[in-house]
Structure 1
Amino acid sequence: MAYPVPRHFHRVEEIIRRSRFITSVAHTPTRDAAKAFIERIRAEFTDANHNCMAFVAGPPASTAQVGMSDDGEPRGTAGRPMLNTLAHSGVGEITAVVTRYFGGIKLGTGGLVRAYSGSVRQALADLPVREKIIPTTVPVIIGYACITPVRRLATAFDAEIIEETYGADVSLTFELPVEKAEDFRAALIDLTHGELVIGTS
């Protein structure tokens, strides 16, 4: 299945009771990419009181590769609410860092939770996204007479040949969006009247 990911780096800023909150968001497809982005923001705002963070390095709501940090704020008031907001956003492969410059007025535990989760929500509200296509492969063996029509059919399903071998028959491996694979297999069978072998991806 496809899912949205951040299109590019995005930043928003707001003042909450004299504290300055700067939210930086980026596309981070792996845990290492998330960590590198977090370090980049920390290096940019070395004089800030806090650089709290949360990331989901995978599909939306996936808990396999997540992380969070309160970075000196009271436990559970920053990283956890930020991660909860990301996890329910429907956006995958995303990291958010909320930088805080303390303005002299304490927000209290509830106020901090609202500030950090609200900062991430504000960034998500106008975050530019693009669709991430999850590819799969479909290996087939066909006769030489079918090559041209099969290539033509593949184009209609956004299927790209990533491997081809020519022997007694033709072995082709197609890569295409996973949601189109089942219909592509059915169309191949129909086109060749069943005269082909379809492997498992």
Structure 2
Amino acid sequence: MYQLVASACAEIEIKKSRFLGSLYPVSSRAEARATLTAIRAQHPNAVHVCWVLLCEGDSGLDDDGEPSGTAAKPMYNVLVHKEVANVLAVVVRYWGGIKLGAGGLTRAYGQAISDAFKAAQLVPVEVLCERSFAMQFADESAFRRLAEQYAATVIGAAYGDSVHLHLRLKLSDAEEFELAAFNLLRGSLQRLDPEHQGPVHGV
């Protein structure tokens, strides 16, 4: 999977209708909604503002008055083909006075988003995971230094009879990191298993 580095756009004209295709990196439906509100404010005379949101756990699409399946669906198909996530795709249409038909609309909306991808820069989505460990107070500094070497982020810490640290790191590094940590602390490290340690997505 990939995601956008920054927004990208393209414009095409078919039988005097203008189609403005845009791609925006987003992380939530609320962010997408705010972006759509701004786009509609920028284009008060547009006849349609069609969109597709692909965001983990919160996706959606809207033909915005175009015949069902002729706008958002072809846009969605392009996003799936490009294997992109965390993205809002929008096509703003200005009516040109000539009907395009269902086939023409489908091609136009798909092309507007395809052309926007030509200006887009994509980066791989890195799968992250979370892990928790318990250790002696004397070992915390060494453990944190090792975590830094693996670009692991400490997202939680608790202190009692021992130190509990909760980390987020690349799933691809998790096994190697755990082995290195156990070797570094001479087996005195304990792996904890809180309920939510499944993979998450990030850059």
- Under TM normalisation by the shorter chain, which class is it? 0.7 to 0.9
Q: Identity of aligned pairs, percent?
A: 35
Q: For residues 166 and 106 of structure 1, do their structure 2 counterparts lie closer, same or farther at Cα, with a shift above 3 Å needed?
A: closer
Deviation at 1:110, TM superposition (A): 0.9
Distance 2:20 2:172 in 1: 38
Once the two structures are superposed, residues 89-136 of structure 1 have per-residue CA deviations (whole angstroms, 9 ceiling, x without a partner) of 211111111111122332221111111011111112221234554543
Match of 1:162 in 2: 155
Partner of 2:81: 88
TM-score of the superposed pair, with normalisation by structure 1: 0.84
Q: Give the CA RMSD over aligned residues.
A: 2.1
Q: Any idea what SS the aligned residue of 2:76 has?
A: helix
Are residues 1:23 and 2:26 paired? no
The residue aligned with 2:4 is: 6
Match for residue 43 of structure 1 among 41, 44, 51: 41
Runs of 4+ in 1 over 6 A off after TM superposition: none
Following the alignment from structure 1 to structure 2, what is the Cα–Cα distance between the partners of residues 110 and 164? 57
Paired residues of 2:8 and 2:117 also in contact (CA < 8 A): no
Specify the code of the residue in structure 2 equivalent to 1:111.
G
Unpaired runs of at least 5, structure 2? 198-203
Gaps of 5+ in 1: 59-63
- Describe the superposition over 1:59-81 as per-residue Cα deviations: whole angstroms up to 9, x where unpaired: xxxxx532222222222111111
Matched, 1:177 2:176: no
- Other-structure match for 2:31: 33
Structure 1 163/48 Cα, relative in aligned 2: closer, same or farther at 3 Å? closer
2:104 pairs with 1:78: no
Shift of 1:177: 2.4
Question: What residue number does 2:200 align with?
Answer: none
Mapped partners of 1:103, 1:144: distance in 2: 71
- Does residue 122 (structure 1) correspond to residue 120 (structure 2)? The answer is no
Read off the aligned partner of 1:179 and give its amino acid letter: S
Q: Would you say the 8 A contact 1:22–1:99 is kept in 2?
A: yes
| TM-score (norm. length: structure 2) | 0.84
